[in-house]
Structure 1
Amino acid sequence: MSRPTAPEALTEPAERAGRGWTAALSLANGAVWAGWYGPLQILLALQAAALAPPGTAKESVLAWVTGAGAVVSMVANPLFGALSDRTASRFGRRAPWVLAGVLGGAGALVLLAGADTVPQMALGWCLVQLTLNAAFAAVTAAVPDRVPQRQRGAVGGWVGAAQILGVVTGTGLATLAGGVVAGYLACAGFAVLGTLPYVLLHRDPVLPAEQRPAGGARALLAGFLISPRRHPDLAWAWLTRFLINLGNALALLYLLYYLRDVLHRPDPDGGVLVLTAVNAVTLLGTVVVGGLWSDRVGRRKPFVLWAGVLMTVATVLLAGWQTWPGALCAAALLGVGFGVFTSVDFALMTEVLPAAADRGKDLGVINVANALPQVAAPVLAAPIVQHLGGYRVLYGVAAAVGLLGALLVRRIRGVA
């Protein structure tokens, strides 16, 4: 395959992205998400229950560990996005960071597998977040680098489909590998193998050294200050994504404990896997279709709005119908809504970016709206579950937050 010519690095792409490139990028994205969600769905919760000191609730340990990792993620994603913007490697701006990120992430997962205290567990998870966010920032920025606007809904759909398949794969590896240590090792191996086709078979546009952004560390840090007044659409899009993701994070954070302590499932680990699979089937049925439909009609906001409303209905089911059938229905509806949201919201975000030279950094700032809910959700969820009404109130709050996010998408003016 021929290397893209240098000027493509900072120009708006005009040629449609090929199927092979889209498939390889999607697989790399799914591999990163498998490295994240095997731990988040299963392994961290099991470790928290095993390592919690006497008198300390497992929910609090899990909240502390995941919250610390999310803080690292909020810093790492825009930082590595900005560094990839400035990378004038002959291998392109993004691919070196994808490879370095997944190799570092695999090593961090191995370290996490050997943790036998809560501080070691927290350190390992923070390193996982640091390294895998380097890869994720580069994968995300590759889309506006290579995909024209008229195709971004469809490509966002395929990338989103791979994301949920990565979640399912990570959850499956964590559940079926045969223990916590084996689960971490399996997720680490898949993260590396899944990124190799993109790194080895496809080349990124090369940024000539003379086009590299000027300035040192001070200029790099100053670039993260994006004025909401100058870029209101970016600000409203960020807030929409943050609130919808916060509602989703509140709903999913304690899912294992919800099945164990409220529904009294005899096999809560397996229950999480079943719900994840149901969610994946309905999500896969809508994520690509939603993106293609959005491209065809040339509109983004109505899709995001109604996807958020549907996700709100799913969360209300968890609050009001606390049975196994209720959980299955909620998982199915959440998949439909999140499928459309995943592809169309991603396309919307790429259309509010201020400058081509800063795509990685700006998308990294936007991706903070994915990571910050991981910090906020434990802070909100732990006291609600333990002192303010339990899971019924938790899911009611999650529904209200997600609905607010869906409604605010109407404030974006520059995107239909």
Structure 2
Amino acid sequence: MSRPAAPEALTEPTERAGRGWTAALALANGAIWVGWYGPLQILLALQAAELAPPGTAKESVLAWVTGAGAVVSMVANPLFGALSDRTASRFGRRTPWILAGVPGGAGALVLLAGAGTVVGMALGWCLVQLTLNAAFAAITAAVPDRVPRGRRGAVGGWLGAAQILGVVAGTGLATVAGGVVAGYLACAAFTVLGALPYALLHRDPALPAGRRPALRLRALLAGFRISPRRHPDLAWAWLTRFLINLGNALALLYLLYYLRDVLHRPDPDGGVLVLTAVNAVTLLGTVVIGGFWSDRIGRRQPFVLWAGVIMTVATGLLAGWQTWPGALCAAALLGVGFGVFTSVDFALMTQVLPAAADRGKDLGVINIANALPQVAAPVLAAPIVQHLGGYRVLYGVAAGIGLLGALLVRRIRGVA
């Protein structure tokens, strides 16, 4: 007797995803980044300065709040990824979590807008991270569900372009909305509207109810343990992403304070917006092209390596050339490097996944390499800025960490 064919959701895709599907997924991805980066770039820093108790540095408050949120993100992303792997819905495995996570994230942003204490601010930001990560885990896993391996660099490029546009839009909304509360409300509205087209118009490959894995807590938790010995390429790819993201997080965490306290910009909020826009222009010039080029020649490692080197040079400029022109040049180079890294590293990651049935969970574990730097960066940055040499030392450390991450990509054997 022949074995039944595997359901579409558990097979390697062979047909190209349509342009409409890619555009809607990219828009939803960008909308989630609006919900994250309007607060991270502007609103949380302003809120921390307002709510910091007497005698407590605003940097410490911001570090504590963003660190707590990153811990929640680090847990939520693989958890919701694993739950989406096991979701047997007529809408597919991923869409229900987008429909739940995006409105939940918008509601959490509204609650955060009304926070009157540091504790309330931290709880609100943790709730934002919890809910938006449910949607983000589903969006990320939709790519290997629907896109053949040879096309993932290009699709990753479009998602990366949407990501940086989301960062710019979030920063812009937070800057021009007219206050902290209005900024949060604007980001919340954009997050919902941007995710609607994908959630309402597209269905993911369904997992038949008869093939749904049993949802047992012990088995679910055990599944998060991925052996580096059994899957060394996944381990090295994870470490590469973690270190490059940690260097980038160290460079960006105190950007508002850097402009205000070191460069003495008269309008640091506007300065952050300008630097973000410069970064976005150069990133958009490389993120899609880098992904297409990587697909065309069938290689990933050289792109990740040189992208990391370029980002290291950019961060070094912030350490050695502490002027407004230096910051502009650094923002431009960071965009060039991070654009290529974003699209090609994403494609590389999807090619080291152990099993189709656990794509959501495994990508969630990989995405810890995005969230964990948000925890580690404040822990490292606050004492460096306050006691160990200030911003010059901070950016020198960030450059060294990013370079190490770029070099380690050469340890991956299964992907060229």
TM class by shorter chain equals over 0.9
Q: Is the 8 A contact 1:69 1:122 kept in 2?
A: yes
Q: Is the 8 A contact 1:250 1:394 kept in 2?
A: yes
Measured against aligned partners, the alpha-carbon deviations of 1:74-131 in whole angstroms (never above 9, x if no partner) come to 0000000000000001111000101110110000000000001000000000000000
Q: Is the 8 A contact 1:4 1:205 kept in 2?
A: no
Measured against aligned partners, the alpha-carbon deviations of 1:209-237 in whole angstroms (never above 9, x if no partner) come to 12112351111111000000000000000
Aligned-partner Cα distance in 1 for 2:269–2:113: 18
Aligned-partner Cα distance in 1 for 2:296–2:319: 36
Measured against aligned partners, the alpha-carbon deviations of 1:199-257 in whole angstroms (never above 9, x if no partner) come to 11111100001211235111111100000000000000000000000000000000000
Aligned-partner Cα distance in 2 for 1:411–1:223: 25
Q: Is the 8 A contact 2:319 2:391 kept in 1?
A: yes
Aligned-partner Cα distance in 2 for 1:217–1:54: 44
Aligned residues: 416
Distance 1:317 1:2, change over 3 A: farther
User: SS at 1:382's partner residue?
Assistant: helix
Q: Which residue in 1 is equivalent to 2:227?
A: 227
Distance 1:2 1:98, change over 3 A: farther
TM superposition shift of 1:5: 12
Measured against aligned partners, the alpha-carbon deviations of 1:319-344 in whole angstroms (never above 9, x if no partner) come to 00000000000000000000000000
Q: Which residue in 2 is equivalent to 1:78?
A: 78
Q: Is the 8 A contact 2:84 2:97 kept in 1?
A: yes
Q: Is the 8 A contact 2:41 2:171 kept in 1?
A: yes
Measured against aligned partners, the alpha-carbon deviations of 1:55-92 in whole angstroms (never above 9, x if no partner) come to 00000000000000000000000000000000001111
Q: Is the 8 A contact 2:98 2:139 kept in 1?
A: yes
Q: Which residue in 1 is equivalent to 2:210?
A: 210
Aligned-partner Cα distance in 1 for 2:164–2:185: 20
Q: Is the 8 A contact 1:91 1:203 kept in 2?
A: yes
TM superposition shift of 1:306: 0.2
User: SS at 1:6's partner residue?
Assistant: coil
Q: Is the 8 A contact 1:30 1:194 kept in 2?
A: yes
Measured against aligned partners, the alpha-carbon deviations of 1:336-356 in whole angstroms (never above 9, x if no partner) come to 000000000000000000000
Q: Is the 8 A contact 2:86 2:215 kept in 1?
A: no
Q: Is the 8 A contact 2:88 2:208 kept in 1?
A: yes
Q: Is 2:404 the partner of 1:404?
A: yes
Q: Is the 8 A contact 1:5 1:206 kept in 2?
A: no
Range with greater deviation from structure 2 (210-219 or 133-142): 210-219
> CA-atom RMSD, angstroms?
2.7
Q: Which residue in 1 is equivalent to 2:321?
A: 321
Aligned-partner Cα distance in 2 for 1:258–1:2: 65
Q: Is the 8 A contact 1:4 1:206 kept in 2?
A: no
Deviating 4+ runs (over 6 angstroms): 1-6
Q: Is the 8 A contact 1:67 1:375 kept in 2?
A: yes
User: SS at 2:358's partner residue?
Assistant: helix
Structure 1, unmatched stretches of 5+, are none
Aligned-partner Cα distance in 1 for 2:3–2:150: 23
Distance 1:346 1:4, change over 3 A: farther
Measured against aligned partners, the alpha-carbon deviations of 1:284-326 in whole angstroms (never above 9, x if no partner) come to 0000000000000000000000000000000000000000000
Aligned-partner Cα distance in 1 for 2:411–2:50: 46
Q: Is the 8 A contact 1:27 1:195 kept in 2?
A: yes
Aligned-partner Cα distance in 2 for 1:3–1:307: 45
Q: Is the 8 A contact 1:4 1:204 kept in 2?
A: no
When normalised by structure 1's length, the TM-score is 0.98
Q: Is 2:112 the partner of 1:112?
A: yes
Structure 2, unmatched stretches of 5+, are none
Q: Which residue in 2 is equivalent to 1:102?
A: 102
Aligned-partner Cα distance in 1 for 2:211–2:150: 27
TM superposition shift of 1:3: 24
Q: Is the 8 A contact 1:29 1:139 kept in 2?
A: yes
Q: Which residue in 1 is equivalent to 2:245?
A: 245
Q: Which residue in 2 is equivalent to 1:377?
A: 377
Aligned-partner Cα distance in 2 for 1:40–1:240: 23
TM superposition shift of 1:2: 28
Q: Is the 8 A contact 1:236 1:409 kept in 2?
A: yes
TM superposition shift of 1:7: 2.0
Aligned-partner Cα distance in 2 for 1:5–1:192: 37
Identical positions, percent: 90
When normalised by structure 2's length, the TM-score is 0.98
Distance 1:2 1:134, change over 3 A: farther
Q: Is the 8 A contact 2:72 2:129 kept in 1?
A: yes
